[in-house]
Amino acid sequence: MPETIEDKESAKVGNRRVHMANERTFLAWIRTSIGIMAFGFVVEKFALFLKQMSIILKTSTTGSMFLLQKDTQLSLEYSLLVWACYLYCSHL
């Protein structure tokens, strides 16, 4: 009888460890997606800077490259966030 109590206690400890590991992984994915979002803001500000410089210097530049990169990055950010939520919820 005492063996089953010990088995239950070790199973609870094991479940807690797995749960805490899932929490750390989930938070790492969230940090990664926030970091990518911050990088997106930097890219957007740089595109605005280039546009202002082209107006000052009276040259023409196309911002289509930055627009494409912004759309791609936005989809990557949201897909990482959804993937992290899916992984976290699947291991609960």
The tens digit of pLDDT for each residue in 4-24 reads 655 666 666 678 888 888 889
Res 37: pLDDT: 81
pLDDT confidence bin for 61, thresholds 50/70/90 = low
- DSSP per-residue codes, 12-69: HHHHHHHHHHHHHHHHHHHHHHHHHHHHHHHHHHHHHHHHHHHHHHT-----HHHHHH
- What pLDDT, on the 0 to 100 scale, is given for residue 16? 84
| Total number of domains constituting the chain | 1
Domain limits for position 85: 2-90
